Structure 1
Amino acid sequence: MQIDAVDHAAIKTAKLEETRVFFVEALGLKVGPRPRFDFRGYWLYAGGRDIVHLVETETPKAPSSVAAINHIALRVADFEATLADLKTRGIAFSCETTPGGELRELYVIDPNGVRIELNAPGATEA
């Protein structure tokens, strides 16, 4: 067996519409085709691929800060534009750079407490 890439992340949420709005309006993903499951949800696309699946649940789930999976990472095409957009929208974030400066990282929290890393190659000056 050989794994080529991460295919998608699924987020269970009791805040389906609020979460959709966050990923679409704040992060720029697009709602796209989804199989006709017997539960509500959305498949969110970037670059023609479904990368985040939202699944409606009745009860809230634990946030990333107490979950075994700490965050999901999404690559951004333009780090500076992403940083400016988050500031303009008033979305709280934190900045990090990997040791050696190979990867710039912005962290945001979705409406469910899921930690989202937005990253691009290179050192940050934020």
Structure 2
Amino acid sequence: MIKLKQLAHVCIFAHDLDATRAFYEDVLGMKTVFDFTREGRVFGFYLAIGGRSHVEVFEASGAARGDSRPIDHMCLEVENILDAAMHIRGKGVEVTEPTKGVDETYQAWVTDPNGVKIELFEYTDRSAQFTGGDREANW
């Protein structure tokens, strides 16, 4: 049996590496851990999310696999969703108003320069991720 620990990384194919790096570093506050290079040219990089989780980014033209979307979305836990939304807006990036989902977790949504949707999460004491129990979807 495999014992899973946590999300290791999410891989994104970027159409513009510089804009993607700026979004994840300047808007979301991630830090580049290392670059992927080929013949002295950067074609990808690894960003630290926190703990041992990362976002892996590759140039779409050099790494694309088929016609699939870059990814549907990834979810990042934040300490304070209202502060996170205010920070993102302060960077000139649109973010939805934080709302509480049927899972009793606050969420807001932002999109990176490649069209990747990012869900921001703030857990509560009643979040289904910790308390369990089925939830009726309202979307």
Normalised TM-score (structure 1): 0.77
- Which segments of 5 or more consecutive residues in structure 2 lack a partner in the other structure? 127-139
2:15 is matched with 14
1:45 correspondence with 2:45? no
Give the share of equivalent positions with the same residue, in percent. 27
Total equivalences in the alignment: 117
| Aligned-partner Cα distance in 1 for 2:16–2:71 | 20
Alignment partner for residue 113 of structure 1, among 108, 112, 115?
115
| Aligned-partner Cα distance in 2 for 1:24–1:68 | 19
| Aligned-partner Cα distance in 2 for 1:80–1:71 | 20
- Give the conservation status (yes or no) of the 8 Å contact 1:32–1:50: no
- Alignment root-mean-square deviation, CA: 2.7
After the TM superposition, list the runs of 4 or more consecutive aligned residues in structure 1 that deviate by more than 6 angstroms: none
Highest CA radius of gyration, 1 or 2?
2
| Aligned-partner Cα distance in 1 for 2:71–2:49 | 22
CA positional deviation for 1:103? 0.7
CA positional deviation for 1:56? 1.0
Secondary structure at the aligned position of 2:108 is classed as strand
CA positional deviation for 1:31? 0.7
